[in-house]
Amino acid sequence: MFNTSYIEISRKAFRSNIRYLKKIIGKDVIFSSVIKGNAYGHGVENIIPLAEESGIDHFSVFSAKEANDALRVMSAGSRIMIMGFLDDAETEWAIENGIEFFVFDMDRLEKAVENARMLGKKAKIHLEVETGFNRTGFEYGNMPQLVEFLKRNREHYIFQGLCTHYAGAESLSNYLRIKNQIKLYRKFSRYFSRHELRPVLKHTACSAAALTYPNTIMDMVRFGIAQYGFWPSPETHMFRFRKDAKETSPLKRMLSWKSKVMVVKNVEPGSFVGYGSSFLANKKLKIAIIPVGYANGFSRALSNTGRVLIRGRRVPVIGTVTMNTMTVNVTDIPGVEKGDEVVIIGKQKRLSISISSFCEMSEQLNYQLLTRLPADIPRFIVS
């Protein structure tokens, strides 16, 4: 009720992904489940409980807003880490609530210490260092000032982590850049140790790094895309399987997106379908209207190019995708009727439509496509 499409989340696929990834990192390494972007479109309210069922108790988000959303669903024993934006008021809120957060400049560090002093509670900080991604992080040149400040304020923080982020570990062409990042990270790490500053955890790896550079795994891995069943890139997949090329991937897609046929009708030859003149019927056609359009996350770029599944067959989108509908050509499928299941992403009978094929058609990254699935599409966990 109250929806024109819905998303199914597979518990079985998620469990299998977590099992596989845990095997790769080993049992002594913390698995941090990255749930930014509404858990890559899967819905935090679904992924947090599923992850907890699989024994995960550490979650990573981008902002205080996302941390707050996660807190509502998380069980008391779980921890949360903010990797990105925090304003001053949010910094105070994070410390008060025992939320861990990245610190990547002096200004943020001073604010954190000031708030911690005021609250009489230690800030749990992860110092992020700049090793070559060139986004956020302390520069090596900042070290004397940083270390001096940290030594002076020991009672106001817990040095929970020393971290960095890699610039494209999913592509072999970045090999040298990643190697240099690892080297520079180690140099930072030695500098801290020389000054008796030791992080509780060293962590640098995202999915691609953990899957292709074992020495980036350290004490914790921040797994995003892989836990949702996606290889960060075809290269990552090949790297894991160059020795024993397996048919089936141990990472399983866990999201399906479905809707229903809203209207079926015939179109006479010579008429245009939809807005404007992008599709001309050259013969008598049977078309089906589906109540999902670009306002519902189905890109307008898929006009005249997208595909969906109906009655176990692949059917093309014709004409332009509108705000709330798309039209598909069902001329060759006998018996299509109102109410038939439509699979936009996922399996139907023997066919499937993957997000990656979807991405190729609309030139989007699977990360982008997933996170653009509107939060108001209802999501259900299926076994």
Ligand X SMILES: *Cc1c(COP(=O)(O)O)cnc(C)c1O
Q: Give the DSSP letter of residue 383.
A: -
Query: What is d(CA 327, CA 318) in angstroms, rounded to the nearest whole number?
Result: 6
- Give whichever of 62 and 140 is closer to ligand X, judged by the CB atom: 62
> Least distance to ligand X from the beta carbon of 293, Å?
28
- Give whichever of 222 and 253 is closer to ligand X, judged by the CB atom: 222
Among the listed residues 7, 29, 74, 83, the single contact to ligand X using CB under 6 A = 83
> Least distance to ligand X from the beta carbon of 232, Å?
5
For 272-319, give the DSSP string. Answer: B-SSTTS-B-SS-EEEEEES--GGGT--GGGTTT-EEEETTEEEEEES
- Give whichever of 206 and 342 is closer to ligand X, judged by the CB atom: 206
> Least distance to ligand X from the beta carbon of 377, Å?
21
Query: What is d(CA 175, CA 222) in angstroms, rounded to the nearest whole number?
Result: 20
The 302-341 site mask, x for binding ligand X (CB under 6 A), equals ----------------------------------------
Contact 317, 279 (CB under 8 A): no
> Least distance to ligand X from the beta carbon of 258, Å?
25
- Phi and psi at 256, nearest 5°, equal -125, 145
> Least distance to ligand X from the beta carbon of 272, Å?
42
Q: Which residue is nearest to ligand X (CB)?
A: 224
- Give whichever of 56 and 206 is closer to ligand X, judged by the CB atom: 206
Query: What is d(CA 208, CA 17) in angstroms, rounded to the nearest whole number?
Result: 14
The 197-216 site mask, x for binding ligand X (CB under 6 A), equals ---------xxx--------
Exposed/middle/buried for 2, CB within 10 Å: 0-12, 13-18, 19+?
exposed
Query: What is d(CA 276, CA 373) in angstroms, rounded to the nearest whole number?
Result: 27
Contact 304, 270 (CB under 8 A): no
> Least distance to ligand X from the beta carbon of 73, Å?
19
- Give whichever of 232 and 297 is closer to ligand X, judged by the CB atom: 232
Query: What is d(CA 242, CA 156) in angstroms, rounded to the nearest whole number?
Result: 49
Is residue 137 a contact residue for ligand X (CB under 6 A)? Answer: no
> Least distance to ligand X from the beta carbon of 34, Å?
4
Q: Quick one: how far is CA 230 from the chain centroid? A: 10
- Give whichever of 224 and 306 is closer to ligand X, judged by the CB atom: 224
The 157-176 site mask, x for binding ligand X (CB under 6 A), equals --------x-----------
- Give whichever of 5 and 227 is closer to ligand X, judged by the CB atom: 227
- Give whichever of 58 and 165 is closer to ligand X, judged by the CB atom: 165
Compute how many residues bind ligand X; rule: CB under 6 A.
Answer: 13
Query: What is d(CA 136, CA 142) in angstroms, rounded to the nearest whole number?
Result: 13
First to last CA, the chain: 21
> Least distance to ligand X from the beta carbon of 136, Å?
9
Binding residues among 217-256 for ligand X as defined by CB under 6 A = 222-226, 232
Query: What is d(CA 151, CA 219) in angstroms, rounded to the nearest whole number?
Result: 24
Of the candidates 236, 241, 239, 235, the one whose C-alpha atom is nearest the C-alpha of residue 223 is 236
Contact 220, 29 (CB under 8 A): yes
> Least distance to ligand X from the beta carbon of 371, Å?
10
- Give whichever of 173 and 282 is closer to ligand X, judged by the CB atom: 173
Among the listed residues 21, 29, 34, 146, the single contact to ligand X using CB under 6 A = 34
Q: Which residues bind ligand X (CB under 6 A)?
A: 34, 36, 83, 165, 206-208, 222-226, 232
